[in-house]
Structures are given as structure tokens and as C-alpha cells.
Amino acid sequence: MSRFFCIYNSVYTDSLDLKERLDSLKGGCNFHSIEFVEIDEDFVDFSTLPIPNSNDGLYNCARGSFITERLMLNENVKTFYRNYEVLSQKDDSNILTIELQKKNIPTPKTIYKGTNNRNLLNKYVDFLDGFPLIVKTYGGVSGVGVIRIDSYSSLFSITDFLVKKNEDFQIKQFIKSNSCERVTVLGDKVLYSITRPIKEQEFRSDGYSKSVRKVELGSKINEIAIKAAHASNLNFAGIDIIVDRKNKEAYVLEVNLPHNFVQHEKITGEKYSREMIGWMFNK
């Protein structure tokens, strides 16, 4: 019987709904008669770590278990990566947008290495089309570390603080929109899309709002999402896309793997894990 190795870390993770992710993936494996094997990095015996073969699948379902994944990855095992040797989920999603930019996939203008140098900041504000703009720290989740800046005084004080704390950060163009779309790509298609409203007196979307719902976004946005996933070496990913309120142009904000698909299962009542497992094992 083929095995699906599901890697996670029950202690050192900031991923939400971990138990629900495991339960859903186990259900997907049961549906396709695949053996589900949990591997918790915080408790695994690294002296007897299994070696997956070409009949097996491997998925790191949450943040915080990169070492185990790297040890178990090989050229034979089935994964959601397009290639074994290129990028992996250890690469911060904010770094992956560099790959999108290189492939001419639309993203907001971004300064990838922030500074508190006043001369450079003045130049960057012009490059990013003025205020407001976004300061975004690396490694945050669920909107934490994303800061809207409306003036030079705020920009100077925030960047002074982050530099003092040795925090790496980006400075990004601000895109005005009414929502942020999560487009989930599986292989060469869009599996589903979720729209997440931007709350009043906020600039960030809320993925846990009661207003979150499944939507059809059209072929143009779907094509951008698929290209973004593939450019990031991924066959399964959650692509965050924002549409400019004025010119209706779509921009990729982030490419996410892992991402919280079980929250979307709750919203839609569908079992996406079955399609994920089915795709991996060609069922």
C-alpha cells in the first residue's frame, strides 16, 4: 500500500487549525485507500526516519517542520513541488515574490530590503508611487507584521524601530481594494477561490469573517494564480491576489504553502483533501 507521510510540528508552529488539517488529510487518504503516516518533528526519532519511495507521498502540512521535510525529500517521492532541486517551503512567501517578478507576473512594486536611511526612503516613496505604502516584516502570518504607512514621520519612526530590532522588512506599494482573494491551485487548475473582505477601518482582509465565501474569479485571475504557483515550484498553493479598486488590475501578494485549506472546507462544505491526495497519487 502507498503511504502518505504528513509532516508537522505540534510545538513549534504558528499554523492554525493543525488538528483539523491532519484529520482532513487522513480522511482524504482513507477515501483513496492510502496509508496515512503522521510525523511530528518535535517527537520523531531521527535515527529511524523512514525513507519514502516512488509509491509514497510527502507533504509538510504546517510551518515549523522544515528539517524533517528536507531529510525525507528525495527525487522519487511524490510531493506538491514541481521540481526537487529548486525552491522549497522554507523560502519565506515574501521572498518567493521575487521569482514572480522575474517571470513578469504582476505584483505590487516592492523594495525587498528595507532601511531607515532617510535619503533612500525618500527615493523609495517616489518609486512606490507615494503614500500610503506598506511596511511588511518577513515571516509573519495572518496579517501580523503588515503596517500601513501614511506619512514620512511614521515611515521614519517605524523603520528606525525595525532596524534597531534587527528585523528584516519590505516596503511595498499600497493597492486599494475591497477584498483579498485566496486562489487555491492544484496542478494545472484552480481548485477553488475564496474572497475575503477588507474590514471597515482596516486595510487587511479577514480570512475568518462570516463574509468569507467561495467565488468564481474568471480566467484572467486564474491564469495569474496558476503561473504564480508554478513560478514558485509548487503544484499546490494558496495564492493571495488583490484587485485594484480603480483600474481593476490583479496583483499577486503572496504564494502560500502550506496554507489553511481546512478553513475553506468549513466555509464551502467540500473536502479538498480528497482532491489533493487524488492528484498526488494520480487517482
State residue 28's pLDDT score.
98
pLDDT in tens, 21-69: 999 999 999 999 999 999 999 898 998 999 999 999 999 999 888 888 9
Q: Taking residues 101-124, what's their average pLDDT?
A: 93
CATH class (in words) of the domain with range 93-105+176-256: alpha beta
- In this chain, the answer to whether the domains covering 93-105+176-256 and 110-173 adopt an identical fold is no
- Cα angle, residue 246 at apex, residues 97 and 108 outer, rounded to 5°: 15
Q: Taking residues 177-205, what's their average pLDDT?
A: 88
* Second-level CATH architecture of 110-173: 2-Layer Sandwich (3.30)
Of the chain, the percentage scoring pLDDT greater than 90 comes to: 69
| Extents of the domains making up the chain | 3-72, 93-105+176-256, 110-173
